[in-house]
Amino acid sequence: MKLYLYGIINSSDQIKESIYGLEGSGVYNIPLCDIGAVVSEISQPIRGVTKGAVLEHEAVVEKLMENFTILPVRFQTIIDGRDNLLSMMQSYYKDFKDNLERLHNKLEFGIKVIWPADKVKENIIKALKKGGQRMPESDSSVSKRFIKEKFEKYEIDKEFEAKADRFIKVMDIFFSKFAAEKKLGKLKTENLLLDAVYLVEKDRQNDFREAFEHIKNAHTGLKYLFSGPWPPYNFVVLSKKSGLLRDSEQADLFDKVTQCQTLVGADSI
Amino acid sequence: MIASGIVETDSPEEFIEEIEKSQDVLPRKIDANPKNVEKGLAKLVLTLIELIRKLLEKQAMRRVEAGSLSEDEIERVGETLIKLENKMNELKQIFGLKDEELNLNLGPLGELM
Amino acid sequence: MDSVITKSKDVTLLEILDRVLDKGVVVSGDMVISVADVDLIYLGLKVLLSSVETMEKLRGSPFIGPTQEPT
């Protein structure tokens, strides 16, 4: 039985609501100890990334986010059979548990900022011209002129990046006040000054939103994008890259898990 | 069920353009169609060569900035950089690739540049 | 100052794609029989160099013709 995996949740309970995922299949929880893997059964292999499937997948994860802490799983992760799923859960158990605890009650927000790169560079060129040139004018060789041109461009780029850093710092100081964690992408393109994600506690999301509005109103020459709340896609940290455990690790984990299973079993009787 | 992840912006087109540009880290998939495999591989290889070329150029600029190159060295470095740039342009032409296609978005590694 | 809030489907989709395709929990191993349309580079250069035949073992890859059920 092929299981389409949506996310890992901090619960071994069954999902009370009726949630439907890909192929309209019912979504349910396969527990292991005190966590669970939320899946639905899938019959057809997925042909590529379609808008419909992506939206269905995301909708399921967001629905689960309402009642659980969830570690969202990458799109189109299909596990071959329940046994394999449980085995995978076992080997990742510690990683999943750590992440679920760390990300509990937190939401991800995205902020992107566009600035007018061309105008910024124009201003820099003007400023540099005023400051005078560094290279002597007397160069006549092709090679030397090449270097001179490259160097001028280098100076402009350098100042461009320095300006970006300053801008980002100003904004980040504001947003960080309400964030537990963050990831900042600087100048992914010339115009995309900032592509950031922030991990914010649920209770502080309004403060965070206000901080964003404040910056937006303070710096009006820029363009802004605000997104969220999202499940914590950007803040899941897995120490284990593959599902393979060394034998001794496997034995330790098995002991911990069976103890847990025993406890869980006793409670549910 | 439709995802409700809220995205708010007053400039959706501009962001779409920049986001798409920023996601072109490496060729997103290697087309296995035999006719296009060559181009896909060329793109990958040339992207890496271009990266090295840019690193070398940047190093040279740092030396110029520090004033640690003699006139003679500037001349020779200039000559070499010109040759490298010309070679890259040649290769780009041969494989029908544009600058934008070879732009490697290094993310955090970009700081090293 | 009022700004026009646009729940633009396209930019929303881009944001969603960026998250579901590249982020979150990524599990790998023999029991995973489908991977999303991501950079094949991330799967290791051995995929890049492998023959088309080997590539066909990857389920769900959009550039391979109709997929077959695993035996």
For chain A, percent of residues with pLDDT exceeding 70: 84
* C-alpha dist (Å) from residue A182 to A3, A56, A70, A107, A264: 32, 27, 18, 11, 36
**Does A146 share its domain with A84?**
no
**Does A170 share its domain with A69?**
no
What integer pLDDT is reported at residue A183 of this predicted model?
Answer: 96
Return the DSSP state at A179: E
CA dihedral A159, A163, A165, A171 (to 10 degrees): 180
**Does A80 share its domain with A134?**
no
Q: Is residue B2's pLDDT more than 90?
A: no
Return the DSSP state at A26: B
Domain holding A114, by residue range, is 107-230
What integer pLDDT is reported at residue B62 of this predicted model?
Answer: 93
The number of folded domains in chain A is 2
Predicted confidence (pLDDT) per residue in B30-79, tens digit:
556 666 777 778 888 888 888 889 889 999 999 999 999 999 999 999 99
Q: Provide, as residue numbers in chain B, all residues whose Cβ is less than 8 Å from the Cβ of A114.
A: 11, 14-15, 18
| Both tokens assigned to C50 | 């492998």
Task: Answer whether B65 touches C (CB < 8 Å).
Answer: no
Of C3, C17, C67, the CB nearest to A54: C17
Question: Is residue B29 very low, low, confident or very high in pLDDT (cuts 50, 70, 90)?
Answer: low
Chains that touch B (3 or more CB pairs under 8 A): A, C
Predicted confidence (pLDDT) per residue in A201-242, tens digit:
999 999 999 999 999 999 999 999 999 999 999 999 988 654
**Does A147 share its domain with A162?**
yes
- Residue partners of B28: CB distance under 8 A and separation at least 6: C37, C38, C39
**Does A120 share its domain with A203?**
yes
What integer pLDDT is reported at residue B65 of this predicted model?
Answer: 93
Mean pLDDT of A57-82: 93
Please give the Cα distance from C17 to A221 (Å, whole number): 28
What integer pLDDT is reported at residue B40 of this predicted model?
Answer: 77
> Between chains, do A227 and C15 touch, taking CB under 8 Å as contact?
yes
Task: Answer whether B11 touches A (CB < 8 Å).
Answer: yes
| Both tokens assigned to A102 | 């760390």
Task: Answer whether A182 touches B (CB < 8 Å).
Answer: no
> Residue A90 domain-assigned?
yes
pTM: 0.78
**Does A128 share its domain with A168?**
yes
Smallest CA-to-CA distance from A6 within A30, A17, B1, A91 is with A30
What integer pLDDT is reported at residue B97 of this predicted model?
Answer: 84
Check: CB of residue A232 under 8 Å from CB of residue A106: yes
- Residue partners of A100: CB distance under 8 A and separation at least 6: A8, A9, A10, A35, A69, A71
Q: In chain B, what's the furthest Cα-to-Cα distance?
A: 69
Task: Answer whether B13 touches A (CB < 8 Å).
Answer: no
Pick C40 or A243 by higher pLDDT: A243
Distance (Å) from the alpha carbon of C18 to chain B's nearest alpha carbon: 8
Mean pLDDT of A39-53: 81
Please give the Cα distance from A263 to A239 (Å, whole number): 27
Predicted confidence (pLDDT) per residue in A163-193, tens digit:
999 999 999 999 999 999 999 999 999 999 9
What integer pLDDT is reported at residue B33 of this predicted model?
Answer: 66
- Indicate which CATH number applies to the domain containing A210: 3.30.70
Pick C25 or A267 by higher pLDDT: C25
**Does A154 share its domain with A137?**
yes
DSSP labels for A46-87? P-S--HHHHHHHHHHHHHHHTTS-EEEBPTT-EEESHHHHHH
> Residue A196 domain-assigned?
yes
Smallest CA-to-CA distance from C53 within C61, C41, C45 is with C61
**Does A99 share its domain with A116?**
no
Q: Residue A56 class from Cβ within 10 Å (0-12 exposed, 13-18 middle, 19+ buried)?
A: buried
Task: Answer whether A191 touches B (CB < 8 Å).
Answer: yes
Question: Is residue A251 very low, low, confident or very high in pLDDT (cuts 50, 70, 90)?
Answer: low
Mean pLDDT of A44-65: 85
> Between chains, do C11 and B15 touch, taking CB under 8 Å as contact?
yes
Written as one letter, the residue type at A152 is E
Three-state DSSP state, A105: coil
Beta carbons within 10 angstroms of residue A54's beta carbon: 21
Q: Provide, as residue numbers in chain A, all residues whose Cβ is less than 8 Å from the Cβ of C67.
A: 45, 47
What integer pLDDT is reported at residue A253 of this predicted model?
Answer: 58
**Does A46 share its domain with A122?**
no
Mean pLDDT rounded to a whole number for chain A? 87
> Between chains, do B11 and A223 touch, taking CB under 8 Å as contact?
yes
What are the backbone dihedrals phi and psi of residue A256, each rounded to the nearest 5 degrees, phi first?
A: -60, -45
Distance (Å) from the alpha carbon of C71 to chain B's nearest alpha carbon: 24
Residues 23-62 of C with CB under 8 A from A: 23-29, 31-37, 59-62
Please give the Cα distance from A26 to B44 (Å, whole number): 42
> Residue A236 domain-assigned?
no
Q: Is residue B8's pLDDT more than 50?
A: yes
Which range of A170-174, A250-254, C12-16 scores highest in mean pLDDT? It is A170-174
**Does A224 share its domain with A114?**
yes
What integer pLDDT is reported at residue A47 of this predicted model?
Answer: 66
- Residue partners of B97: CB distance under 8 A and separation at least 6: B39, B42, B43, B46, B91
Predicted confidence (pLDDT) per residue in A120-152, tens digit:
999 999 998 877 655 555 557 999 999 999 999
Q: Between β-strands A192-201 and A106-114, what pairing exists: parallel, antiparallel or unpaired? A: antiparallel
